[in-house]
């Protein structure tokens, strides 16, 4: 993982998961570029930290998306909750990755 800065994160995304760059840039322009308050920056970096961490591991990314899709399609609320809980645990785990991991 890169340093936890918008610039380092964008560079890593561009190098390793370039398919995310358009969405990253669009989100940056919408949420941050015209802001007079840097308050939203940590939330922005946290979101994209997780997205990049998943995208750089295609198997894990596919697994999380499969869990979320199966939850959305499930008619059993307990099953849907269990699937979403598993996906959420994975998303929380990748948020804890440190630069260099």
pLDDT in tens, 44-99: 999 999 999 999 999 999 999 999 999 999 999 999 999 999 999 999 999 999 99
pLDDT for res 73: 98
Cβ neighbours of residue 6 under 8 Å, at least 6 residues apart? 28, 32, 41, 44, 45, 48
pLDDT for res 39: 87
pLDDT for res 34: 75
The whole model's pTM is what? 0.86
E strands, 9-84, are none
pLDDT for res 69: 98
pLDDT for res 38: 83
């Amino acid at each position: 993982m890169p340093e936890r800065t918008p610039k380092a994160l964008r560079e890593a995304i561009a190098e390793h998961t370039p398919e995310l760059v358009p969405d990253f840039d669009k989100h940056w322009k919408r949420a941050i570029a015209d802001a007079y308050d840097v308050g939203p920056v940590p939330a922005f970096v946290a979101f994209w930290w997780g997205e990049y961490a998943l995208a750089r591991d295609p198997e894990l990314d596919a697994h999380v998306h499969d869990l979320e899709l199966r939850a959305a399609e499930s008619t059993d609320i307990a099953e849907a909750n269990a699937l979403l809980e598993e996906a959420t645990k994975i998303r929380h785990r990748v948020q804890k990755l440190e630069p260099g991991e």
